[in-house]
Chains A and B, each alone.
Chain A
């Protein structure tokens, strides 16, 4: 199948908008993305708003929990339990994502609104900077589209 046809039929691709910066939701997004790559799909993560904060240098695992954060106590407990259950770190998961050719897009509008410069971000992980049009181009060719 030609590449163009593939884009039109929305073949094997997943696109996820990572809007939340919450620790648990970042985990959900990246685990789904990695699972998709492992199952032979293409995957794109579009980081925007609070999600983009996690791509700031040193910010990857700094998000709170979406529920029961309890001023960080819930977060601490969940991280401890994740360690005991041998859940891989976000850093490891993102390294796997890149190794399997996953694509990361950083939202330019968020950068403008929140005063984030490219130098503030993990440029080693980001493949592209773009706005809504870039997202739509990815999403229109994706069988799975999620907003997390």
Chain B
């Protein structure tokens, strides 16, 4: 199973959300998508999208400064 990394640091609305969705679309079932970003609203909204898509939210982790990391299983 592949692990796909998406770097959205420095990106503004709606890019982190959209890039996450694009990565999930390309991923195979079972693959893990890991998104890194620093856009505050996206940290809340990506988990909302994951729930709406019926996928598994593995973790939401705060990193240094305003950065965060979200892991999702397709």
Contacts and interface: CB of A to CB of B under 8 A. Distances in A.
Contacts of A87: 12-13
Contacts of B69: none
B21 A88 contact: no
A105 to B, nearest CB: 21
Task: Please name the 10 residue pairs, one residue from A and one from B, whose CB atoms are nearest each other, closest first.
Answer: A38-B21, A38-B17, A40-B53, A40-B52, A39-B49, A35-B14, A96-B18, A38-B18, A34-B14, A86-B12
A85 B12 CA distance: 7
Interface of B: 10-15, 17-18, 20-22, 25, 45, 48-49, 52-53
Interface in A88-116: 88, 93, 96, 99-100
Given A39-B48, A39-B49, A100 B12 contact: no
Interface residues of A, number: 15
A100 B22 CA distance: 7
A54 B8 CA distance: 28
B17 to A, nearest CB: 4
- Of A35, A40, A85, A88, chain B has the most CB atoms within 10 Å of the CB of A40
Nearest to A87: B12
A93 B15 CA distance: 8
A37 interface: yes
A125 interface: no
A38 B12 contact: no
